[in-house]
Chains A and B, each alone.
Chain A
Amino acid sequence: MNLWIWILVACLLSYLTKLAGYLVPARLMENPRMTRVAGTLTIGLLASLTAVNTFSSGQALVVDARLAALLAAAVALWLRAPFLVVVLAGAAAAALARFLGAA
């Protein structure tokens, strides 16, 4: 139940963020720094989420089948595969590595 509250807060926050672009006068929001920070935040958070989902298990750092997924996804992206194929490559690599005995 607790998670529901955070889901709804996240949804509200997302809508208000989008709406702010339309309702807040542009002269108050439009500055190159804001645009730049929005961009670096996006890069930093996605890189961080990639790292955490690959190497963390709770508060421990581990190397397991997910590393194979990361490498397979990188190869698929390098070959300009569409997003869904990249995701399937990641799943297949992790499942295969686990089948072959990786943790």
Chain B
Amino acid sequence: MEFSKSPAARVGLSIAVATGLYGVSFGALSVASGLDLLQTMALSLLLFSGGSQFAFIGVVGGGGSGAAAMSASGLLGIRNAVYGMQMNAMLRPRRWRRFAAAQVTIDESTATATGQSDPLEQSRGFWVAGIGIYVLWNVFTLVGALLGNALGDPAQWGLDGAAVAAFLGLLWPRLKAREPAAIAVVCALVTLLAVPFVPPGVPILVAALVAGLLGWFSFGPSREGLEPDVEPYPSEGRP
């Protein structure tokens, strides 16, 4: 099939636009959290994993240490290793392509590839979504950071409220059943109970420990929590 008629490439492009666009909110919130323009761009260019980037600035913005921010972002990125394993088995990239594929292995590129059944389409979906999101996410991060710098006082524009909405927006697609919702409620409560007793940033790591233990000792659907923020195949449902 020609590339221009590839359904996977089309899905990959539309997911790239939808996901890339919300790089604006990351850029604006990052400078509002106290990171400068270069630090914000370093996260989008090098770290490149939406949830982890939001986690990093969320901890820093709340007064947490750099070490706590790094830990929260690292723990939130563990699912990318699972995606990497799946993509390695599915696409079998060779030599330098492995190293390039690793950088663009995120929720959306993985979901776009796994939604296809033909090997060529799987590969097209992964690369078009991955590279497309990478380019647009960085362009819109820059736009957001410049916008955030121009806005001035973050609280006046409700940017702290935007951060709250962003985290709820990242969480929401993962709460499709009662059980993940219960995990979310438990972890939110644990966090709030810990806030008065430990330094800022640490309550999030306490919640991560609880979440890890719940995952280790309980049974549930293995794909739970691994839903993409933006669903590439909304009408068809996940395979």
Which residues of chain A are near B225, meaning CB under 8 Å?
A: 38-43
Which listed residue, A5, A18, A58, A93, touches B80 by the CB 8 Å rule?
A18
Is there an interface contact between B55 and A45, defined as CB atoms closer than 8 Å?
yes
Given A46-B167, A87-B25, A91-B165: A77 touches B172 (CB 8 Å cut-off): yes
Query: Which of A11, A44, A50, A73 has the most C-beta atoms of chain B within 10 angstroms of its own C-beta?
Result: A44
Q: Is B169 an interface residue (CB 8 A)?
A: yes
The SS class assigned to the B binding surface is helix
Given A11-B43, A46-B170: A89 touches B77 (CB 8 Å cut-off): no
Given A37-B212, A77-B172: A44 touches B207 (CB 8 Å cut-off): yes
Q: How many residues of A contact B (CB 8 A)?
A: 79
Is there an interface contact between A48 and B185, defined as CB atoms closer than 8 Å?
no
Is there an interface contact between B161 and A42, defined as CB atoms closer than 8 Å?
no
Is there an interface contact between A21 and B174, defined as CB atoms closer than 8 Å?
no
User: With contacts defined as CB atoms under 8 Å apart, how many contacts are there between chain A and chain B in the complex?
Assistant: 348
Which listed residue, B18, B87, B156, B214, touches A44 by the CB 8 Å rule?
B214
Which residues of chain B are near A90, meaning CB under 8 Å?
A: 158, 161-166, 168
Is there an interface contact between A53 and B164, defined as CB atoms closer than 8 Å?
yes
Given A14-B48, A19-B99, A73-B168: A44 touches B162 (CB 8 Å cut-off): no
Which residues of chain A are near B223, meaning CB under 8 Å?
A: 35, 39
Which residues of chain B are near A51, meaning CB under 8 Å?
A: 187-189, 191-192
